[in-house]
Structure 1
Amino acid sequence: MEQTWRWFGPQDPISLDHVRQTGATGVVTALHHIDDNTVWSADEIDRRKTVIERAGLSWSVVESIPIPSIIKQGGAAAQKAIAVWKDSLANVGRAGIPVVCYNFMPVVDWTRTDLLFRVPTTGYALRFDMIDFIGYDAFVLRRANAEGDYPADAVRRAHSRIASKTEAEIALLERNIIAGLPGGAAVQTRSSIASEFANFKDIDADAMRHNMVQFVQEMSAIAEDVGVRLAIHPDDPPFSLFGLPRVVSTAEDVRHLVGAVESPANGITLCAGSYGSRSDNDVLAIASEFSSKINFAHLRNVTIEPDGSFFEDQHLEGGTDMVALIGILLAEERSARADTRARQIPIRSDHGHLLGSDGERPTNPGYSYIGRLKGLAELRGIIRTLESQSVGTQ
C-alpha cells in the first residue's frame, strides 16, 4: 500500500515538509487554481509535480479534475466540456501520474451540516444532521415539493428545529451546506443553487446514470492510452440531496458502472466513510466484491444515528471494521502480485478530528494536520501488523 496525504496546493496551511513528516510518501492533489472549463496544461502539471518532487514526495493521485454540471446533464452541450476533460486527463497521464479520482455528484459535492461537532474525546468532527438538512431544504431554501421527499415525522421535527434557530445559526447552517467544502464544488448561493436545480429538473436517476456511463466510456479509452487508472468516488452522503439523483451510492451502482464499462482503466475509490454513511451498505462486502477495481482508498469511519444522521468518528471506531477492510486491500495487492498485475493501492487517512493546537490555526474542514496524522499512524500500525502476519504464515 502507498500511504498518501491530501494537499490543497501552495495555499494549504500544511506545508509539504510537514506532509513528509507524517510518513506519507505520496501526495494527493489537484490544480485548484485552474477554472473548471480550462485544460490542465502540461506546463501547469509539470510545475506542480516538480514542487512535490523537490519536497521528496511523489504526485500519486489527482483528486480531482472537476466535472462541470453540463457534463452530468448530458447532451450535445456537454461535448466541449468533455473535450476539455479529455485533454486534462491525457496531460496528467503523460506526466506519469497514475490515478485520477473524480465524482459525479450533481450541484453539491460532499456535504455536512456541522463542521465543529464536539466528540467525547473533546475534539471536533464533521457531522451530517439529517433533521438540520431537511429543515434547511424545506423551510429555509424552500425548495418546491421538498417536504414530500422526507418522512412526515422528520419534516415535523425539522420545522421545529429551524423555528428554534437564530438568524445567525441559520446563516451558519447555510454556509456549511452550500458554500462549498475543500476540494468540492464551487461556492453556491440560494439563487445560484436554485438555478442549478432548474437545470436538472428533467434528469432522473436513469438519465444521470446514462450520462455517467457515456462519460466513463470516453474517458476510459483515453486513460488506457496514457496509463491512468480512473477511480470514481462515491456520493457523500450516499443518498439523494435536494431531490437530485445520486448514482454512485450503493454496491448495485458500482456493479452497474463496472459492468457497463469493461475497461481495465475503469475503477473506484473505496471511500469507507462515504459508503459507510448509509446503513444498508456493507463496506466490507463492497470492498471484497470490487477489490480488483479499487484504484484508491479513503480510510475513515462514521457512526450512523437512527434518523440517518452521522458523524465522522475516530479512524478505528465507527461502523466499519478497519482492520478487516485493510486486510481485504492487502489481500488484493497479494493477488495482483501473483497474477502479474503488481500494484500498490494508494490510501489516505481521510479527514480527521480537529485536535489540540490545530483548533488555534487556520485549517480546511476535515483536513487538519494532527487528526489526520493520528489516523495515518493508526492505519500504518494495522498495515504493518497484517503484513507481518502474512509473511509469518507463508
Structure 2
Amino acid sequence: MRMVFRWFGEGNDTVTLDQIRQIPGVEGIVWALHDIPAGEEWPLARIEEVRDQAKRYGLHIEVVESVNVHEDIKLGLPSRDQYIENYIRTIEKLAKVGVKVICYNFMPVFDWARTELFKEMEDGSTALFFEKSRIDGIDPMDLVRNISENSALTMPGWEPERLMHLTSLFEAYRGVTADDLWRNLDYFLQAVIPVAEQNGIRMAIHPDDPPWSIFGLPRIITGQENLRRFLSLYDSPANSITLCSGSLGANPDNDIISMIHEFHDRIPFTHIRNVRVYENGDFIETSHRTQDGTVDISGIVRAYHENGFSGYCRPDHGRHLWGEKCRPGYGLYDRALGIMYLWGLWDAYRRNESAVK
C-alpha cells in the first residue's frame, strides 16, 4: 500500500507540502490543476511546476485527481470529439512527468452532493453531512448557493464555470437515460484507454457520490454489478477503478469487501473513509475508526492486505478538528489521524501474516 495525500495547490490549500511530508508513510500528493476548466488541455509548464513544487519536499505526483470530463462528452454531443482530443493530449503530457493514475468520474453536473458542510457532531467536531429528505426537495440552485457561500476555497466538482450554466445543463440532460450515459461513457473509454495504455497510465473511475440518482440525473457507477459492467466495456488494466469506501458505503447494501476481492487487480487507487448511515438514508462522515461509522474499515484494509494491494491509498474526507479553518472535508488533522489508523491496521495484518508463516 502506497500512501498519498490530496493537495489542492499553492494558494488554494490550507495544508502545506511541508506538513504533508511529516505525516508518516506519505510518499506523494494527489493533485490537479483546479483552475483549468473541464475540457481544456492542461499546459505542460503548469504540470511541471506542480512536479517541481512536490519534488522540493521529497514527494511524487504519480496520482492526479481529477482530469474532469466535459459535460459534452457525458451528453454525447458532436463537440465531444474535440474535448476528448484535449483529454488525450493531457494524458500524454501527464505521462511525461511520471503520472501513473488518473482518477476521474462520469457524474452528470454534480461531482458530489452534501446538504451541510459543517454539521456538528457529538464531540464538537464538524463534518460533511447528507440529509436525504432535504436533497429530495431542494432546488439545485439552493444547493449551489449553500456550497458556494460556505467555503472561501474552491470545491472540487463545483467549478464556477459549470455552475454558471446550471439551468441550461439540466435542460440538456432532460430525457438522458442511464443507458445513454453508459453509451457515452463507452465512447469515451474506446478513445482514451488505448492512449492511457501506450503511456503507462491507468484511468481509474470514481464511484458516484452518493451512489444513487439525485435531481433526476442518471448515475451509473453505484455498486458491484455496474462496476463489473464498467470494467467489461474495455478489458484492460488501464481501464480501472478508484474504489471509494465512503461513496459506496453511503449505501449499506454495497459489499465493499466483496468488491475488493473481485476487482483487486483493477484497483490502482483507493479512497478510504468512513460514514455513519442512518435508517432514514441520511449519512455523515466520521473518523476513519471502524467503530465510529457504518463502514467496516478494518475489514476493508484486511481485504486489501489479503490481496497484496500495492496501489495508491489516500485517506478521504476527514472531520474538522480543534478549530482548524480548512476546505470542508480536507483539513490536515483528521486525515493525518486517519492515515495512522490505516497504517496501524496494515501493520497489524502484516505482522499476523508473518507470525502464521
Are residue 251 (structure 1) and residue 251 (structure 2) matched?
no
| Residues 14, 331 of structure 2: 8 Å contact kept | no
Give the structure with the larger helix fraction: 1
Q: Does 1:187 align with 2:160?
A: yes
Match of 1:384 among 314, 323, 347: 347
Counting aligned pairs with the same residue, the percent is 34
Q: Is the 8 A contact 1:136 1:174 kept in 2?
A: no
After superposition, the CA RMSD in angstroms is 1.9
1:345 to 311, 327, 344: 311
* Secondary structure, aligned partner of 2:188: helix
| Corresponding letter in the other structure for 1:10 | E
TM-score, normalising length: structure 1: 0.85
Distance 1:184 1:85 in 2: 17
Question: Matches of 1:239 and 1:187 in 2, distance apart?
Answer: 24
Query: Could you say what secondary structure the match of 2:308 adopts?
Result: helix
Q: Could you list the per-position Cα deviations for residues 301-347 of structure 1 after superposition, in whole angstroms to 9, with x for gaps in the alignment?
A: 1111122111112212312211111111122226xxxxxxxxx2111
CA positional deviation for 1:35: 2.6
Instruction: Tell me by how many angstroms 1:251 deviates.
Output: 0.9
How far is the alpha carbon of 1:260 from its aligned partner?
1.5
- Conserved 8 A contact 1:46-1:95: yes
CA drift at 1:51:
0.8
**Residues 359-389 of structure 1, C-alpha deviation per residue, up to 9 Å, x if partnerless?**
xx3x111001111111111111111111122
- Distance in 2 (CA, whole Å) between partners of 1:75 and 1:289 is 34
Shift of 1:87: 0.6
What whole-Å deviation, never above 9, does each CA across 1:271-327 have from its counterpart, x for those lacking one?
A: 000000112211111222111111111000111112211111221231221111111
Whether 1:332 and 2:307 are equivalent positions in the alignment is yes
Secondary structure at 1:325 match in 2: helix
Letter in 2 for 1:13: T
Q: Aligned residue for 1:357? A: 323
Report the more deviating stretch, 293-302 or 310-319. 310-319
Q: How many residues align?
A: 350
Change (3 A) 1:189 1:91: closer
Residues 27 and 57 of structure 1 are in contact (CA less than 8 Å); yes or no, is this contact kept in structure 2? yes
* Partner of residue 308, structure 1: 281
Kept in 1, the 8 Å contact 2:117–2:147? The answer is: no
- Structure-2 separation of matches of 1:265 and 1:188: 30
Q: Which residue of 1 aligns with 2:332?
A: 369
Name the residue aligned to 2:243: 270
Query: In structure 2, what is the Cα distance between the partners aligned to 1:14 and 1:175?
Result: 25
- 2:128 & 2:180 partners in 1: Cα distance? 32
Cα deviation, residue 190, structure 1: 8.2
Indicate the residue corresponding to 1:96 in structure 2. Answer: 98
Mapped partners of 1:72, 1:178: distance in 2: 24
Amino acid at match of 1:322: I
Q: 1:76 to 1:189 in 2, by over 3 A?
A: closer
Secondary structure at the counterpart of residue 307 of structure 2: helix
Deviation string, structure 1 residues 59-117 (Cα, Å, up to 9, x no partner) = 12100001110110014221111100111011112221111100001011111101111
Q: Could you tell me which residue of structure 2 aligns to residue 297 of structure 1?
A: 270
Q: Match of 1:10? A: 10
Query: What's the offset of the Cα at 1:9?
Result: 0.6
Secondary structure, aligned partner of 1:206: helix
Query: What TM-score results when the alignment is normalised by the length of structure 2?
Result: 0.93
> After superposition, what is the alpha-carbon deviation per residue over 1:150-185, rounded to whole angstroms, capped at 9, x for unaligned?
xxxxxxxxxxxxxxxxxxxxx6x5533577962213
Q: Partner amino acid for 1:252?
A: E
Off by >6 Å, runs of 4+ in structure 1 = 178-181, 188-191
1:1-394 equivalences under 5 Å are: 1-11=1-11, 12-23=13-24, 24-137=26-139, 174-176=144-146, 182-187=155-160, 192-316=165-289, 317-333=292-308, 344-358=310-324, 361=325, 363-394=326-357
Distance 2:163 2:183 in 1: 29
In 2, Cα distance between equivalents of 1:368 and 1:110: 18
Q: State how far apart, in whole Å, the 2-side matches of 1:391 and 1:217 are.
A: 43
Find the aligned partners of 1:213 and 1:327 in 2 and give their Cα distance. 33
Distance in 2 between the 1:82 and 1:176 partners?
32
**Amino acid of the structure 1 residue aligned with 2:323:** S
Indicate conservation of the 8 Å contact 2:239/2:266, yes or no. Answer: yes
Label 1:190 to 1:34 Cα distance change in 2 as closer, same or farther (>3 A). Answer: closer
Which structure has the larger Rg over C-alpha atoms?
A: 1
Is contact 1:178-1:189 (8 Å) kept?
A: no
